[in-house]
Homo-oligomer: A and B are copies of this chain.
Amino acid sequence: MEKLKERLDMFSDAVIAIIITIMVLELPMPQHDSVSEYLQFGKAIGIFFISFCYVANIWYQHSILYSDAETINNKVFISEFIFLAFLSLIPTFTKLITVDTNRHTVLSYGILTFIVNGLFMLTSYAVVHQKYSDKSDTQKIFQKIYLNHSNFLGMINVIVLILAYFKPNWAVWCYLALPVISFVFNRDDQV
């Protein structure tokens, strides 16, 4: 199954590369040569960068995760694909916020990233678990690598979700900040 693992690696990378790039196709063009249209366009580009950062960060964590794994079992395979299915929705939900930044769209976007993060954690668990299944310290390793930050980031996610309900425009800025923060935290881990 070694070979299937490599194929899945490349397949996932290709899917993530497509997700990160097709978001740009969803950018609404300025219709007239007016200042307000260009401001709107600039805001859309800003939101595009949020999702770009988010997916780039996911790709990085995903690569680190699978560089450890040697084989994949069916559980990993299934959770990987459910994770990819939800990740594929990021471009659509990005467009949702771009077109109309209101309470419902920002909340939807927040819930989607919440689900994607959760599914990624499940996949991580499946990958780590299959490798250290015979050792009693699986739980401990996983806790150390993922849960410390996950707890912290998970809590932040919930707070931003609540913020999205009352102040959707502020929440959008938090969604820009979160992957950046997450990346810095992860960097500490690798060093």
Contacts and interface: CB of A to CB of B under 8 A. Distances in A.
Contact of A22 (B11, B16, B22): B22
Of the listed residues A10, A88, A102, the one surrounded by the most CB atoms of chain B closer than 10 A to its CB is: A88
Given A18-B17, A25-B25, A74-B190, A81 B56 contact: yes
Given A17-B18, A95-B29, A24 B63 contact: no
Interface in A1-41: 3-4, 7-11, 13-27, 29-30, 33, 38
Contacts of A15: 17, 20-21
How many A residues touch the partner, as a band? 35 or more
Contact of A67 (B3, B23, B38): B3
A29 B97 CA distance: 11
Q: Is the interface of A mostly helix, strand, loop or mixed?
A: helix
A92 B22 contact: no
Contacts of A52: 81, 85, 88
A33 B190 contact: no
A104 interface: yes
A13 B18 contact: no
Contacts of A84: 20, 56
B4 A104 contact: no
Interface string A64-108: 100100000010011001001100110110011001101011000
Interface of A: 3-4, 7-11, 13-27, 29-30, 33, 38, 45, 48-49, 52-53, 56, 59-60, 63-64, 67, 74, 77-78, 81, 84-85, 88-89, 91-92, 95-96, 99-100, 102, 104-105, 183, 187, 190
